[in-house]
Amino acid sequence: MTEGTRDEGARFDAIIVGAGFAGLYMSQRLREAGKTCRVYETGADVGGTWYWNRYPGARCDAESLAYSFSFSPELEREWEWSERYATQPEILRYLGHVADRFDLRRDIRFERRVETAHYDEAAREWTVTTDGGDSARASVVVMATGCLSVPLVPQIAGLGDFSRPHYYTGAWPHEGVDFSGQRVGVIGTGSSAIQSIPIIAEQADQLTVFQRTPNFSVPAHNHPLDPKWVAAFKENYREHRRLHRLGLASGFGDLDIEPKEFESLLTSALEPDEADFEKTCEQFWQMGGAMFLRVAEDMMMNEEANARVADFVHRKIREVVKDPETAEVLCPRSYPLGTKRLCVDIDYYATYNRDNVRLVDLQKSPIERISETGVQLGGAAGDEIELDALVLATGFDAMTGALAKIDIRGVGGGTLCDKWAAGPRAYLGFMVSDFPNLFTITGPGSPSVLSNMVISIEQHVDLVMDCLAEMESRGAKVVAADGEAEEGWVAHVNEVASATLMEKAGSWYLGANVPGKPRVFMPYAAGVGVYREVCEGVVADGWRGFSFA
């Protein structure tokens, strides 16, 4: 960790905000190209998501060998992943290794929150300031601030009254938490909760889970990686990476997927008879992980098809959860499968068979308020549940949250917040008109959170580098997205989303989890393969929709 001295008017070729996967790779590419850069990071070390989310059970749901950088064959060869889905500590170690191996830390200033980024039209330059008193200038700013980096404080009456320890999964204490002998409450049943609940249940004396909306979850079938399998995978790494970039399995990995197994992918979930349908679903269920969404091609387009697959998952939940009433409460019915992020779990449903675990259905008994000592329920139950500790697995202000916290001013002093007041607008999710030379890695309007994000991050960083090279070759100082191209892209992103079932859930993809946030489907839902083709077409067409000056 390098705290370093304060920047006072220093000038760099580029300033990067954030030192997660995106910030690290961006700084590596700039360094390699002989450019100077400064990275500011709020955390005390690299890692981003994996620095902050240290809750028990945190791990990736894209397979380890796919959820890793592809830019360096040496790095690929030397790093050994130990499990199919790497744990948070392992991913954090990996990112620390990347920072050391490529000597990236010397450009990073830790424990610095960027507060402002203002564009000076005359100087064609950005000035960035931090809460540590830094002020630095650069012609280019790259926002690598993360899509899930601003934990959401839920609007629950009395939250501040709770006098015992409470923890956000997205800002977990570094020293860990020992729940032994405690009565613990978990609010939320999204991915973070679903990963942590089985482990907290093993530790705690009693665990109460407060569920407002059940989530679909598929088993991870995690296991240690067989060194022989890894060696064979690495032999063929380039081909795997190529397929991931094309969007096969969204690049979530292909551990157990041989091409022949794709033959069983259903064109429509409505076609096969019951026995064939069950067999195919079971086959995908046994593979484990997010691949399950590929069981039928029409699943994300056709409600009936989706409902048939959802029924299969409901049956699976009922098979595992012994108490029929609890099983029913765990079955999601208010939105189509896959329209909220599919969770991937290790023993989540089985955890409800434990004697020390209770599920509270907030639909029937909403939280009335948090008291000094626990959770007061209203409705049918009406009781107070006393707790020694409370875990808030309540999600993030996704995709736009981190950008909205920075005072970003572009041409004419206009702010990004004003520009995005009715929802984010960006060309390719990569640049925002009126904000020249400012790039948003995995920004709204790109596949981003619907993909294996390392693939999307690498693609955007590479595109930034191509764009800078184009500027140089044209002798340009400024690149900007055209307003018209941006309008067209935003309309296209909406059109694609509307053709799917994705808007049928009150998901964070739509901003529905943040009171007052405009409801706009933020990621681009056509997939990483299609998106890559679009970007390549734009570049081949002389950077269509971008102006260089």
Given a contact cutoff of 8 angstroms between Cβ atoms, the answer to whether 162 and 154 are in contact is: no
- 253 touches ligand FAD (CB under 6 A): no
The pair of three-digit structure tokens given for residue 452, joined into one six-digit string: 């294996």
Hey, what's the torsion of the CAs at 431, 516, 393, 45, to 10 degrees? 40
**Sole window of 44-52, 176-184, 257-265, 517-525 interacting with ligand FAD (rule: CB under 6 A):** 44-52
53/139 with CB nearer ligand N01 = 53
Q: What's the closest the beta carbon of residue 90 comes to ligand FAD, in angstroms?
A: 12
Of 50-58, 133-141, 221-229, 269-277: span binding ligand FAD (CB under 6 A): 50-58
C-alpha span between 516 and 244 (Å, rounded):
36
Among 28, 29, 38, 40, binds ligand FAD (CB under 6 A): 40
Determine the Cα–Cα distance for residues 390 and 367; give it in Å rounded to an integer: 13
Q: Which stretch binds ligand N01 (CB under 6 A): 116-124, 152-160, 458-466, 480-488?
A: 152-160
| Tokens found for residue 482 | 């055209």
Instruction: Rule CB under 6 A: choose which of 139, 365, 452, 459 binds ligand FAD.
Output: 452
**Closer by beta carbon to ligand N01, 117 or else 291:** 291
CB of 306 to ligand N01, least distance (A): 18
If you ran DSSP here, which 8-state letter would residue 213 be given?
S
What mask of x and - would describe binding to ligand FAD in positions 174 to 193, judged by CB under 6 A?
Answer: ------------------x-
Nearer to ligand FAD, 114 or 493 (CB): 114
DSSP state of 191: H
Number of Cβ atoms within 10 Å of the Cβ of 438: 22
Residues for the chain: how many in total?
549
41 binds, among ligand N01, ligand FAD, none (CB under 5 to 8 A by kind): ligand FAD
Q: 119's torsion region: left (phi>0), alpha (psi -120 to 50) or beta?
A: beta
Q: What DSSP designation does 405 have?
A: T
Using rule CB under 6 A, residue 209 touches ligand N01? no
Q: Can residue 370 be called a binding residue for ligand FAD (CB under 6 A)? A: no
Which range touches ligand N01 (CB under 6 A), out of 114-122, 187-195, 375-383, 464-472?
187-195
The answer to the question of residue 524 lying near ligand FAD (CB under 6 A) is no
Q: Does 439 bind ligand N01 (CB under 6 A)?
A: no
Tokens representing residue 225 in the block: 């990686």
Q: Which of 513, 527, 531, 546: binder of ligand N01 (CB under 6 A)?
A: 513
Q: Does 446 bind ligand N01 (CB under 6 A)?
A: no
Say if residues 184 and 388 touch (Cβ distance below 8 Å): yes
List Cβ neighbours of 260 (8 Å cut-off, separation of 6 or more): none
Q: Is 511 one of the binding residues for ligand N01 (CB under 6 A)? A: no
Partner from ligand N01, ligand FAD, none contacting 337, C-beta within 5 to 8 A by type: none
Q: Which of 37, 58, 36 is nearest to 47 (CA)?
A: 58
394 binds ligand N01 (CB under 6 A): yes
Nearest to residue 288, comparing CAs of 312, 256, 320? 256
Q: Which does 344 bind (CB under 5 to 8 A by kind): ligand FAD, ligand N01, none?
A: ligand N01
Among 15, 29, 38, 41, binds ligand FAD (CB under 6 A): 41
58, 218, 392, 463: residue in contact with ligand FAD (rule CB under 6 A): 58
C-beta separation of 522 from 401 below 8 A: no
114 binds, among ligand FAD, ligand N01, none (CB under 5 to 8 A by kind): ligand FAD
Q: Which of 193, 408, 454, 461 binds ligand N01 (CB under 6 A)?
A: 193
400 touches ligand FAD (CB under 6 A): no
Shortest separation between residue 421's beta carbon and ligand N01, angstroms: 23
- For ligand N01, the binding residue among 192, 208, 280, 302 (CB under 6 A) is 192
Q: Is 363 in the site for ligand N01 (CB under 6 A)?
A: no
Closest residue to ligand N01, based on beta-carbon distance: 190
Question: Of 139 and 440, which CB lies nearer to ligand FAD in the complex structure?
Answer: 440
What one-character-per-residue DSSP string does 436-479 give? TTEEETT-BTBSGGGS-HHHHHHHHHHHHHHHHHHHHHHT-S-E
Distant-in-sequence, close-in-space partners of 403: CB < 8 Å, separation ≥ 6? 143, 145, 416, 440, 443
Residue 394 interacting partner from ligand FAD, ligand N01, none (CB closer than 5 to 8 Å by kind) = ligand N01
C-alpha distances in angstroms, 448 versus 29, 68, 235, 453? 20, 15, 28, 6
86 in contact with ligand FAD (CB under 6 A) = no
Query: Please, what is the minimum distance in Å from the beta carbon of residue 293 to ligand FAD?
Result: 14
Closest of 285, 282, 280 to residue 270, by C-alpha? 280
What's the angle, vertex CA 218, arms to CA 199 and CA 192, rounded to 5? 45
Q: Residue 330 has which token pair? A: 């765990």
Cβ(309)–Cβ(268) under 8 Å? Answer: no
Return d(Cα 479, Cα 460) in angstroms, integer.
Answer: 15
Question: Of residues 14, 15, 16, 22, which one binds ligand FAD by CB under 6 A?
Answer: 22
Three-state SS at 307: helix
Both structure tokens of 343: 């969770």
| Binding site partner of 393, from ligand FAD, ligand N01, none, Cβ cut-off 5-8 A by kind | ligand N01
Rounded least distance, CB 197 to ligand FAD, Å: 14
Residue 85 or 546: the one with the smaller Cβ distance to ligand FAD is 85
Closest CA to 98 of 144, 40, 172, 29: 29
- Strand, coil or helix: 49: helix
Q: Which residues bind ligand N01 (CB under 6 A)?
A: 60-61, 148, 154-156, 169, 187-193, 195, 210, 212-213, 341, 344, 362, 393-396, 449, 508, 513
